[in-house]
């Protein structure tokens, strides 16, 4: 029996969750919200660092990141270098711990020795007094959505996604089931918006995770909040879920 806290027990402490699938080591979601929701070009300016975080704006209580290929960046979790993570304001790591690992979570990709590890960080970002909680899961996105969020009725209030161009799966499946997950705001580039690129197939997703296929997909309505973050496949815009 592990003496480490489980991810499910940890998530019960939060009401507002931001989920970033296939993120690599990118922390642009934390950078955006902790800056006071400033567009990327404004976040890059030194004059924004000292004032923007004091504004009144909704901010997720915890950031859940997942990536099956994260081991390519580092394996222990303690090697996280914030200089390479896309944060433009001041930052530091205040704490690090490992939560209980998920056993063999991958059904589409291979399970490796590092698979299922979960890293929890406390970060001080953009001069904010309250620490930011980041939880990183080494697993495929479909696994955490199906086995953690859906099975345990854990709502995700926000999704942040960029550059999810698909290796074996595509992010459109997540956008389609946003309503079921409780998502209110979806921040993404065109790669996750259903209907683009001739709607690429997610046959592997629905074969291995049939519970992720829905008959009445959610719709993403683009707001006037455009070009808030840049990725290699275009700019991230804000969408409301309907």
Q: Is the pLDDT of residue 70 over 50?
A: yes
Write down the pLDDT at residue 221. Answer: 96
Residue 54 has pLDDT above 60, yes or no: no
Using one digit for the tens of pLDDT, what is the confidence trace for 104-151? 999 999 998 889 999 999 999 988 888 999 999 999 999 999 999 999
52: three-class secondary structure by DSSP: helix
Predicted pLDDT at 75: 59
Tell me the pLDDT band of 83, cut-offs 50, 70 and 90. confident
The full set of domain ranges for the chain reads 7-241
220-222 and 229-231 strand pairing: unpaired
Q: Using pLDDT thresholds of 50, 70 and 90, give the confidence band for residue 74.
A: low
Is the pLDDT reported for residue 55 higher than 90? Answer: no
pLDDT at 38 over 70: yes
Lowest-confidence region among 48-52, 79-83, 154-158, 211-215: 48-52
**220 touches 241 (CB < 8 A):** yes
Tell which wins on pLDDT, 154 or 130: 154
Of the CA atoms within 13 Å of residue 223, those in its CB half-sphere come to: 15
Cβ neighbours of 231 (radius 10 Å): 18
pLDDT at 50: 47
Rg value, the chain, Cα: 17
Residue 177, pLDDT > 50, answer yes
pTM of structure: 0.93
24: left (phi over 0), alpha (psi -120 to 50) or beta: left
Helix intervals (H) in the chain: 7-11, 28-34, 40-43, 141-143, 172-176, 178-181, 203-208
| Token reading at 69 | 């290929």
Q: State the pLDDT at residue 49.
A: 56
Between residues 122 and 46, which one has the greater pLDDT? 122
């Amino acid at each position: 029996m592990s003496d480490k806290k489980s991810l499910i027990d940890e998530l019960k402490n939060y009401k507002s969750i931001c989920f970033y699938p296939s993120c690599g080591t990118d922390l642009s979601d934390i950078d955006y919200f902790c800056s006071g929701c400033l567009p990327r070009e404004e976040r890059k300016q030194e004059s924004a660092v000292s004032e923007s975080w004091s504004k009144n704006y909704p901010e997720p209580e915890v950031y859940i990141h997942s990536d099956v290929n994260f081991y390519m960046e580092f394996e222990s979790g303690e090697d996280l270098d914030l200089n390479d993570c896309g944060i433009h304001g001041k930052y530091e790591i205040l704490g690090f711990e490992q939560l209980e690992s998920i056993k063999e979570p991958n059904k589409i990709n291979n399970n490796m020795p590092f698979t299922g590890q979960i890293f929890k960080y406390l970060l001080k970002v953009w001069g904010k007094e309250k620490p930011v909680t980041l939880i990183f899961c080494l697993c495929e996105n479909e696994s955490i959505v199906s086995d953690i969020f859906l099975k345990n009725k854990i709502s995700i209030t926000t999704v942040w996604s960029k550059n999810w161009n698909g290796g074996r799966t595509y992010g459109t499946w997540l956008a389609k089931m946003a309503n079921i997950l409780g998502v209110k705001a979806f921040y993404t580039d065109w790669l996750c918006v259903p209907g683009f690129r001739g709607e690429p197939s997610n046959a592997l997703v629905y074969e291995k995770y049939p519970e992720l296929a829905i008959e009445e997909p959610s719709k993403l309505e683009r707001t006037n909040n455009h070009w808030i973050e840049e990725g290699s496949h275009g700019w991230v815009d804000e969408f409301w879920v309907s």
